[in-house]
Structure 1
Amino acid sequence: MPRRSVLFSPGDRPELLRKAPGAGADVLVFDLEDAVSPDRKAEARETVAAVLSDPDFDPDAEVAVRVNPGDAGRDDIDAVCAAHPPDALVVPKAASADDVTSVADAAREVGADCPVIAIVESAAGVLA
């Protein structure tokens, strides 16, 4: 399926996650990064994992999860990918190949072998 349109939904808003497939986007991105305040990260991880694991949640779109870079991303991956891996993981602010491979490696460690989409947001990231 082509990725013509992408809809980002905050991971701590279950009503938006469940409503997202109705928007008609090609890719739904459940956001655990900037869209969620630090004090709600754990709740957002649980919410995204619950929606992905729900047998009644059957979107006609690719579902990706935007994870935090670094150690916080590992917590995201452990919580979300162990139960029901998304179709892809999104790494924002990718500044090097290590940012992407660390996410892919962490996902494989919990049994998820899904593609990693890097979002390059800086000149340094482009150069790396």
Structure 2
Amino acid sequence: MTALPRRRSALFLPASNPRAVQKARSLPCDVVILDLEDAVAPERKREAREAALAALAQGFGERETVVRVNGADTEWGADDLALLATARVDAVLLPKVGGAEQLEAARSALGASGPPLWAMIETARGLMALPSLAAAAPAVRLEALVAGTNDLALDLRVRPDPNRTPLLPALAQIVAAARAGGMTALDGVLNAHDDIERLAAECAQGAMFGFDGKSLIHPAQIATANAAFGPDDGTVEWARRVIALFADPANASLGAVSLDGAMVERLHLAEARRILALIGE
């Protein structure tokens, strides 16, 4: 089976920071997100765009490369999309997506054969639009939803605790929409980049909610995210055993089989295959 994209760790870095860009080429993150938006001051937008194009031309090895552009309602957004239409980039990340019309406009600007889209969900409008985004995903080639938890908390006027309690319903909605549209779901960033214990707890929570990985702001966060969004050795072994169980001719006509005292069904077989595909088996 062809390996599926591993997006356990997606590291944001300012495209205008050459040292950070160069360092990213040696980091164990699955995705590099070159940021043209929040991490770049207005007076450096043009410089950052040119730096991103140069960095993309050089490449990042096996890491997926994504560029977060400025919004279409800014003076830089249209130029960002125009230059990325033919760039060597794996996807374009749109900020503050609030409706399918934004996806359609970006697809038109990038062209039908241009790079796929990713979408940041960081506003109340974005949450309300999730069903339409999922429905539009195949036509506009939307591949991922990214939770923008910082902006989302501000827009909703909630006060997150360390468990992110008021954001949990929104996180569940984002995962559900991603699954409905056949997309990857990435959890939001943790600003406290030196609090590894809190990061581990957020990653475990995100994995429990069904996220495929986490967006990050610092290289020190990568190892924790990669470990949390596995799959771990125990899960891989379970997947291998499930596949072997249903491959046994004696179970060919069975819809459910007992494994270690628990019933596994053919729906678990599909999940087992997905897990092994993540590690290239």
**TM-score normalised over the length of structure 1:** 0.87
Q: What is the aligned length?
A: 123
Alignment partners' CA distance in 2, 1:80 and 1:14: 19
Structure 1 letter corresponding to 2:44: R
Alignment partners' CA distance in 2, 1:105 and 1:17: 29
Alignment partners' CA distance in 2, 1:34 and 1:100: 20
SS in structure 1 at match of 2:76: helix
Q: Return the match for 2:104 from 94, 101, 104.
A: 101
Whichever of the two has the greater Rg, that structure is 2
Alignment partners' CA distance in 2, 1:53 and 1:41: 19
**TM-score normalised over the length of structure 2:** 0.41
- Residue of structure 2 in register with 1:15 after alignment: 19
- Residue of structure 2 in register with 1:68 after alignment: 70
- Residue of structure 1 in register with 2:115 after alignment: 114
Structure 2 letter corresponding to 1:4: R
- Residue of structure 1 in register with 2:264 after alignment: none
Tell me the CA shift for residue 120 of structure 1: 0.8
1:90 aligns to 2:93 (yes or no): yes
Percent identity, aligned pairs only, is 37
- Identify unmatched segments of 5+ residues in structure 2: 130-281
- Residue of structure 2 in register with 1:36 after alignment: 40
SS in structure 2 at match of 1:18: helix
- Identify unmatched segments of 5+ residues in structure 1: none
The 8 Å contact of residues 89 and 114 in structure 1, kept in 2 or not, is answered as: yes
Alignment partners' CA distance in 2, 1:45 and 1:28: 15
- Residue of structure 1 in register with 2:51 after alignment: 47
Alignment partners' CA distance in 2, 1:127 and 1:80: 28
Structure 1 letter corresponding to 2:120: I
The 8 Å contact of residues 48 and 80 in structure 1, kept in 2 or not, is answered as: no
Structure 2 letter corresponding to 1:75: D
Structure 2 letter corresponding to 1:122: T
SS in structure 1 at match of 2:82: helix
Structure 2 letter corresponding to 1:65: V
Tell me the CA shift for residue 58 of structure 1: 4.0
SS in structure 2 at match of 1:119: strand
